[in-house]
Amino acid sequence: MHSATPYKTAILTLGEKKNRKSVFLKLQDLRYLTYIFPIVQNQLTKYTEAMADVMNYVLSTINSTTYVAPAPTANRNILYYQLFEEIKTLL
């Protein structure tokens, strides 16, 4: 990576001479990415932690016609009522 300072642009280059690819990023874009990356990383961590609970909930509610409360130990970052409504619209 090197910086093209007159235009405040970073140039990322990967690959050998024949297959070289470059990406040009403006400084303001890099600042935005460094700001948003920890937020996205946190959301992905919460998603992966909740995945097993969501699968268990979906399997337990597929045949139900009324709302089923999640297990007391289920992840609290999921809106189970909204998930239930989504399941019912798909089936």
DSSP state of 7: G
Task: Give the domain ranges of the chain.
Answer: 2-90
pTM: 0.60
With a cut of 60, say whether residue 2 has pLDDT above it.
no
Q: Which of residues 8 and 22 earns the better pLDDT score?
A: 22
Give 17-53 pLDDT, tens digit per residue.
Answer: 888 998 888 888 888 999 999 999 999 999 999 999 9
Residue 73 neighbours by CB distance under 10 Å = 7
CB 14 within 8 A of CB 20: yes
What does the pLDDT average to over 5-15? 79
Both tokens assigned to 72: 């007391």
